Amino acid sequence: DVKVTQSSRYLVKRTGEKVFLECVQDMDHENMFWYRQDPGLGLRLIYFSYDVKMKEKGDIPEGYSVSREKKERFSLILESASTNQTSMYLCASSLGQAPYSNQPQHFGDGTRLSIL
């Protein structure tokens, strides 16, 4: 089975802090994704990556950056955390070459991030 592991289930940070969310997958997938999920707004794509050192903006990249130095690891960075970034953050991975892959995405359990 595919395993996508997010470094924290719950995280509390303060406004203005730089926040790192880490994600690791163990299935040699090419594609990795960061989403946030908010009540009433559904799932929104922040960034994705289809190869090492490659990244593409999703729908809501403002205030975020990403890093993919190794194939198995994809990090989401909140440059200067703000209260409107309080959310559930979900990492996913999939086989194939995005954006044209129709392979399923496999998700981690999520990080519930609170910015005070």
Partner 1 sequence: DAKTTQPNSMESNEEEPVHLPCNHSTISGTDYIHWYRQLPSQGPEYVIHGLTSNVNNRMASLAIAEDRKSSTLILHRATLRDAAVYYCILIRSGGSNYKLTFGKGTLLTVNP
Q: Which residues bind partner 1 (CB under 8 A)?
A: 4, 31, 33, 35, 42-43, 45, 48, 50, 56, 58-59, 90, 92, 98-102, 104-110
Q: What is the dihedral of CA 44, 6, 53, 78, to 10 degrees?
A: 60
CB of 115 to partner 1, least distance (A): 19
Beta-carbon contacts of residue 80 (< 8 Å; ≥ 6 apart): 16, 17, 18, 63
Nearer to partner 1, 35 or 64 (CB): 35
Nearer to partner 1, 17 or 59 (CB): 59
Sign, Cα dihedral of 52, 89, 64, 105: positive
Nearer to partner 1, 16 or 99 (CB): 99
Closest to 109 measured CA to CA, from 85, 93, 91? 91
CB of 15 to partner 1, least distance (A): 25
Q: What is the dihedral of CA 85, 25, 32, 44, to 10 degrees?
A: -30
CB of 26 to partner 1, least distance (A): 16
Nearer to partner 1, 67 or 107 (CB): 107
CB of 52 to partner 1, least distance (A): 17
